[in-house]
Amino acid sequence: MKKDIHPTYYPKAKVSCACTNTFTIGGTKESYDIDICSSCHPFYTNKEKILDTLGQVQKFRKRLSQKKAK
């Protein structure tokens, strides 16, 4: 491998989320400012909102429940 072409690796890089959650990771920057993390993401907190204007989600859930009933 070539020398002096790789970025500096920081094993304790600080990550700050918009929800004030902070944690450390390994990365190529000393600090990261992110908008959303696993503590505030709707998918991981079970607060997911599905916008359904055509009724496609309801149709899918109806078919899924019929399939489970069999």
Cα separation, 20 vs 17, in Å, equals: 5
> So what's the pLDDT on residue 25?
94
Average pLDDT over residues 1-8: 86
Q: Is 20 left (phi over 0), alpha (psi -120 to 50) or beta?
A: left
3-state secondary structure of 60: helix
Residue 68 reports pLDDT greater than 80: no
Q: Look up the pTM and report it.
A: 0.57
HEC string of 32-59?
Answer: EEECCCCCCCHHHHCCCCCCCCCCHHHH
Question: For residue range 15-61, what is the model confidence (pLDDT) as tens digits?
Answer: 999 888 999 999 999 999 998 888 888 777 777 777 767 788 888 88
Cα separation, 30 vs 26, in Å, equals: 9
Strand-pairing partners, residue 32, are 15
